[in-house]
Amino acid sequence: MRVVTWNLWWRFGPWAERQKAVLAVLRDLGPDVVGLQEVWASDDGGNLAEWLAGELGLHWTWAAYGAPERWQRRIGSEAVVIGTAVLSRWPVVERAALRLPAPAELDDGRVALYAGLDAPGHLVPFCTAHLTSAPSAAAVRRRQVTAVTGFLDRHRRGTAHPGVLTGDFNAGPGTDEIRLLADRGYPDAWDLADPAAPSATWDPANPYVGGDGPPNRVDYIRPGPPGPGGLGRVRAVRRAGDGPVDGVWPSDHFAVVADLAGPGDPPEAR
Task: Between 107 and 210, name the one with better pLDDT.
Answer: 107
Residue 223 to residue 110: CA distance in whole angstroms:
21
Q: What is the pLDDT, as a whole number, of residue 266?
A: 53
| Distances in whole angstroms, Cα of residue 253 to Cα of each of 55, 177, 225, 249 | 22, 20, 27, 9
Q: What is the pLDDT, as a whole number, of residue 265?
A: 66
pTM for the model stands at 0.95
Q: Which of 76-80, 110-114, 124-128, 155-159 has the lowest mean pLDDT?
A: 76-80
Q: Which of 40-44, 116-120, 150-154 has the lowest mean pLDDT?
A: 40-44
Asked if the model's pLDDT at residue 236 lies above 90, the reply is yes
Average pLDDT estimate for 115-119 = 97
Q: Each residue of 28-87: pLDDT tens digit?
A: 999 999 999 999 998 777 999 999 999 999 999 999 998 777 777 777 777 789 999 999
Q: What is the pLDDT, as a whole number, of residue 68?
A: 72
Domains recognised in the chain with CATH numbers: 2-261 (3.60.10.10)
Q: What is the pLDDT, as a whole number, of residue 268?
A: 47
Q: What is the pLDDT, as a whole number, of residue 163?
A: 97
Task: Between 197 and 147, name the one with better pLDDT.
Answer: 147
Asked if the model's pLDDT at residue 259 lies above 70, the reply is yes
Mean of the per-residue pLDDT values of the chain: 93
Average pLDDT estimate for 111-129 = 96
